[in-house]
Amino acid sequence: MGGSMAHMERVTQPRWCQQAMADENQAEFRSGFVALAGQPNVGKSTLMNALLGQKISITTSKPQTTRNRILGVKTLPGRGQIVYVDTPGIHKAHKALNALMVDNAMSSIGSTDLVLFIIDAPAAMRGGSPSPARGDEAVAEALAGTGLPVVLAVNKIDKLGDTGRVLPIIEAYAGIGGLEPLAVVPISALEGHGLDRLEGLLLGHLEQGEPLYPEDMVTDQAERFIAAELIREKLTLQTRREIPYSSAVIVEEFHDDVVRGLLKMRAIIHVEQDSQKGIVIGKGGQRLKQIGSQARADLERFFGRKVFLDIHVKVSRNWSGDAKALERLGYTREEG
Ligand SMILES: Nc1nc2c(ncn2[C@@H]2O[C@H](COP(=O)(O)OP(=O)(O)OP(=O)(O)O)[C@@H](O)[C@H]2O)c(=O)[nH]1
Ligand SMILES: [Mg+2]
C-alpha cells in the first residue's frame, strides 16, 4: 500500500478473512486501490460500473462527463478487495473547471497502488492503420511519471469489427510515453468482454492485505452527490453543444419524508447565461420536465425508494471559469 488513500478508514478484518490469513494453505487476501485513467470518453466510468455490477458513476457519449474522483469498492469474498478510483479524463484544459478536473485526476491517480490505463481501440484505428489515438502519448507520459505500475486496457473492441485488429493496436502502443505495462488486456466495458480476466489480473497485481472498506460498501459518495450526478447525466444527454459543459447541479435539499414514504429532493441546475437557462427549461418547460422524469426513474432505482424531485434552473454567470464559483458549486481540490 503506497498512497495516502491507504490511510482512509480501515476496518476490522471479517472473521473469514482472519481465518484465511491464519491458515497458510488458504489463498492470501489482496487489497488495494486501482485508478481508472485515460482520456475523456474512453469508457472509464462504464468500465467501473461494469466491474462493480452497479451504476455508481455517470456515463454519457460526450467527453468530460466525470468531474470528480468516484470510488467503487469490489469485494471478492475470500480473494480480495479492489477499490476502483474512477477519474476525470486527462485532457488539455482551457477553463478553470477543466484544469481542476485534470489536477484532481492526477492527484487521485498518484494515490493509488496500480493504474489501469484505458484506451479507445476504435480511436486508435481512426487514421486507417493502427496508431496511438491523439492525446494518448501525453496521458501515457503523465502516467509513467507517477512511477506506479500500469496495466493497459484496450477498450471498445466490440466496435472494431475484426478482432484481428486488436494485436496491431497493442503493438502500436508498445513503449508509448515510456510506459512499460505489466499486462495488456483487450476488453469491451459495454458488452462485458474480458472483464473477469481483467479483474483477476488486477487483483493479482495488488499486495496481500486486509479489506480497506466494509465488504458491503460500494462507494463513499454522499447520497446528495449521487443524486446531483444522475440529474447532470440526464441533462447532458438531453442537451447539446456547450450546455453540458456550462452546467452544474447541486442538490440543496434531500430528506426522507417518512409520513409520505418518499425521498424529497430539491435540485438547482446552474448554467452560465440566460439563453442557456431557456434551452434547459425548453418550450413550455418540456425539456426540464423530461430531465426530471428520467432522473427520477434512475434515482428511484438507485435509492430503492419513491422520489419527489423538484428542479430549478439558475444563472451563475461564467461559473466554470471562476475559482470562487467552482468552490461554491462543490468543485474543490481533491487530495488523493
Ligand atoms: N461500443 C462501446 N462503447 C463503449 C464502451 N465503453 C464505453 N463506451 C461508450 O463510450 C462513451 C463514454 O463512456 P464513459 O464511460 O462515460 O467514458 P469516460 O472515460 O468515463 O469519459 P469521461 O468521464 O468523460 O472521462 C459512452 O457512450 C459509453 O457507452 C465499449 O466497450 N464499447
Ligand atoms: Mg467518466
122 lines ligand 1 (CB under 6 A): no
Q: What is the pLDDT of residue 26?
A: 53
Ligand 1 pocket member 46 (CB < 6 A): yes
CA distance 276 to 290: 16
Is the C-beta atom of 49 inside 6 A of ligand 1? no
pLDDT (mean) for 51-61: 97
Return the pLDDT at 22: 46
The sign of the dihedral angle between the CA atoms of 237, 192, 120, 180 is positive
User: In this predicted structure, what is the pLDDT of residue 7?
Assistant: 40
Residue 189 per-residue DSSP state: T
User: In this predicted model, what pLDDT tens digit does every residue of 91-144 receive, in sequence order?
Assistant: 999 999 999 999 999 999 999 999 999 999 999 999 889 999 999 999 999 999
CA–centroid distance, residue 59 to ligand 2 (Å): 6
Q: Does the Cβ of 188 fall within 6 Å of ligand 1?
A: yes
Render pLDDT for 207-250 as a digit per residue (tens, 0 to 9): 999 999 999 999 999 999 999 999 999 999 999 999 999 999 99
Nearest ligand, measured from the Cα of 40:
1
Overall average pLDDT of the 251-266 stretch: 96
Is the pLDDT assigned to residue 12 strictly greater than 60?
Answer: no
pLDDT at 19 over 70: no
- Please tell me the distance from the alpha carbon of residue 184 to that of residue 147, in angstroms, as a whole number: 18
pLDDT value of residue 334: 86
% of the chain beyond a pLDDT of 70: 92
Structural domains in the chain plus CATH codes: 4-204 (3.40.50.300), 223-328 (3.30.300.20)
Q: What are phi and psi of 324, to 5 degrees?
A: -65, -40
CA–CA separation, 80 and 32 (whole Å): 9
Beta sheet of 306-315, edge-to-edge order: 248-257, 262-271, 306-315
* Parallel, antiparallel or unpaired: strands 150-155 and 183-186: parallel
Residue 189: closest CA among 329, 12, 303, 38: 38
Q: Mean pLDDT over all residues of the chain?
A: 93
- Spacing, Cα 252 to ligand 1 middle (Å): 29
Cα(40) to centroid of ligand 2, in Å? 7
Between CA 37 and CA 143 the distance in angstroms is 8
**Is pLDDT at 17 greater than 70 in this prediction?**
no
| Amino acid 128: pLDDT | 87
333/68 Cα distance (integer angstroms) = 10
pLDDT at residue 9 tops 90: no
**Residue whose CA is closest, atom 9 of ligand 1?**
43
260 CB-contact burial (10 Å; exposed 0-12 / middle 13-18 / buried 19+): exposed
Q: Is the minimum distance from the CB of 66 to ligand 1 under 6 angstroms? A: yes
Highest mean pLDDT among 7-11, 161-165, 287-291: 287-291
Helix boundaries (H) for the chain: 15-22, 44-52, 96-110, 136-145, 166-172, 195-204, 223-238, 274-281, 286-303, 323-328
In this prediction the pTM is 0.93
